[in-house]
Chain A
Amino acid sequence: MAEKLKVATASLCGCFGCHMSFLDIDERILDLVQLVEFDRTPITDIKTIGDCDIGIIEGGVANAENVEVLREFRKHCKILIALGACAVNGGIPAMRNSFTLKECLEEAYVDGIGVDNPMIPNDTEIPMLLNKVHPIHEVVKVDHFLPGCPPSGDTIWTFLTELIEGKPISFPYEQIHYD
């Protein structure tokens, strides 16, 4: 039997909705694990990534840790996939790009309604925020894009089966939407 493909996934600046949608493939995940083995992913809770065939990234790039994780994924994955609106174009988090970072932080931690003990967090453990949120293709090369907020379980299933079987990637009309 051929060796199983190794798959890693991560959520950067996203809401984990795309990972939840991934789980919406339901019992088909049993078929999937016949073909793939999960490396670093919230599903296995493995924290470091080894060499993988497929890397799936949810979420855009909003802080220094996102950049580091994304670069690690690019370095270790033969094929890198942008999963969902935030990874593809920045999505909802990128709406903060209409404001300066200072304005965002002051609204959240200083001037916002109901803020108690106003102070912008500056612990060194907290990753530094980038001035703007970026889609992942603005930081590393991306091989495939799956739009949607989130892409449906069916869309993810169509994509993964076509990719694993080496077929051209194409979707039924209803499976592609940007929201």
Chain B
Amino acid sequence: MSTEKSFKLDGKTIPFEDGDTIMDAALRAGEYIPHLCHNPEFTPHGSCRVCIVDVNGRQVSACTQPATENSEVINSSEQIMSQRRSLLQMLFVEGNHVCPACEKSGACQLQAVAYYTKMLSPHFTHFFPQRTVDASHPDTAIDFNRCILCELCVRASRDFDQKNIFAIDGRGIRSHLVINSPSGELGDTDFSAEDKAAHVCPVGAILPKHKGYERPIGDRLYDRKPISVVGDVAAHEFDQE
């Protein structure tokens, strides 16, 4: 007799193991739940809320919600998609996301998830915040205009690189990425382009220098196929060349 536990994702049976989140089980089964701050290599964070799903009538983030036996999870209803779209629109207006002027464009997870949810406009009023660019490091640039506070660099630097270079300072709308050095600049840390933290940014906030626009338009990661087929940016970090 089979003792495998399972739940339903949009009516489809998804097996899971004890300790799995909805996201873990869905990813293993090859089912796509849109997400930005989640990367299966790191402890779930649950902050971007883009992986919102409906579980038995309650809305939860799939990356932090433990899978439960026989639950009914709705991932792709128009209602859920429209809420994701609103979350993305808020992310877009809160920063300065100028896609035509960004080296990450075409291989940006924020863009790709927005395409997936069929976002055509920012809808809200833009904040146009005043933010800076840190070009002090010889190999890596940081454009704070594009940071979406996913904390993947924070987690990678702390948990993987053991360097604690990044942190989020402030609360609410004043939350922002800071760098752990006396000057606050990346160039004054022991950050290296080989660090895990240099390869997890889902947007164009942490960018390698000296190699912009290498891939022509039409040939970039998300130019032809949606993120549900292609997968995350971080999973393709080393197949760009």
A159 to chain B, nearest CB (A): 10
Task: Report which of A92, A97, A134, A146 forms a contact with B100, defined as CB distance below 8 A.
Answer: A92
Q: Of the candidates A88, A149, A177, which one forms a contact with B121 in the assembled complex, judged by CB atoms under 8 Å apart?
A: A88
Question: Does A132 lie at the interface of the complex (its beta carbon under 8 Å from any beta carbon of B)?
Answer: yes
Q: Is the CB of B128 within 8 A of A174?
A: no
Inter-chain contact B115/A145, CB cutoff 8 Å: no
Binds A, one of B44-52, B71-79, B219-227: B219-227
Counting CB contacts under 8 A, is B83 at the interface?
A: no
Contact A135 B122, beta carbon cutoff 8 Å:
yes
Query: Given the interface contacts A89-B92, A135-B126, A147-B120, does A174 sit within 8 Å of B99 by beta carbon?
Result: no
Q: Which of B98, B111, B114, B121 contacts A94 (CB 8 A)?
A: B98
Q: Is B189 an interface residue (CB 8 A)?
A: no
Q: Which of A135-179 contact B (CB under 8 A)?
A: 135, 137-138, 142, 144-147, 149, 170, 173-174, 176-179
Across the interface, which residues of A come within 8 angstroms of B111, CB to CB?
A: 177-178
B116-140, CB < 8 A from A: 118, 120-123, 125-126, 128, 130-131
Q: Which of B92, B105, B217, B225 contacts A173 (CB 8 A)?
A: B225
Count the A residues whose beta carbon is within 8 Å of the partner chain — how many?
A: 29
B226 lies within 8 A of A137 (CB)? no
Q: Is the CB of A149 within 8 A of B100?
A: yes
**Known contacts A89-B92, A173-B226, A179-B105; is A145 also within 8 Å of B120 by CB?**
yes
- Whether A59 sits at the interface, judged by CB under 8 Å, is no
Closest Cβ–Cβ distance, residue B193 to chain A (whole Å): 25
- Interface SS of A by simple majority: mixed
Give CA–CA (A12, B181) in the complex, Å: 44
> Does B173 interact with chain A (Cβ within 8 Å)?
no
Question: Given the complex, which residues of B lie within 8 Å of A77, measured CB to CB?
Answer: none
Closest partner residue, chain B, to A174 (CB atom): B224
What chain B residues lie within 8 Å of A176 (beta carbons)? Answer: 115, 118, 120
Residue A98 is within 8 A (CB to CB) of chain B in the complex: yes
B101 proximal to A (CB < 8 A):
yes
**B residues within 8 A CB of A179?**
99-100, 102, 105-106, 217
Distance (whole angstroms) from the CB of A88 to the closest CB of chain B: 6
A166: min CB distance to chain B, Å = 19
Q: Report the Cα distance A176→B125, complex, angstroms.
A: 22
Residues from chain B with Cβ under 8 Å of A92 in the complex = 98, 100-101
B101 touches A95 (CB 8 A): yes
Whether the pair B126, A95 counts as a contact (CB closer than 8 A) is no
In the complex, whether A55 has a CB less than 8 A from a CB of chain B is no
Question: CB distance A147 to B100 under 8 Å?
Answer: no
A85 part of interface (Cβ distance < 8 Å): yes
Per the bound structure, the CA–CA distance linking A149 and B92 in Å amounts to 16
Within 8 A of B (CB), among A90-109: 90-92, 94-95, 97-98
Chain B residues, Cβ within 8 Å of A135: 122, 126
Q: Inside 8 A of B121's CB, which chain A residues have their CB?
A: 82, 88-89, 137, 142, 145, 147
Report, nearest first, the 8 A-B pairs whose CB atoms are least far apart.
A145-B121, A178-B99, A149-B100, A97-B128, A179-B99, A179-B105, A145-B120, A179-B100
Having A88-B121, A144-B120, one finds 14 other A-B pairs with CB under 8 Å, namely A88-B122, A90-B126, A92-B98, A92-B100, A92-B101, A94-B128, A97-B96, A98-B131, A132-B128, A137-B121, A149-B99, A174-B224, A176-B115, A179-B106
Between A and B, 18 residue pairs with Cβ closer than 8 Å are: A88-B120, A88-B122, A89-B126, A90-B126, A90-B128, A92-B98, A92-B100, A95-B101, A97-B96, A135-B122, A137-B122, A138-B126, A142-B121, A147-B121, A177-B106, A177-B111, A178-B114, A179-B105
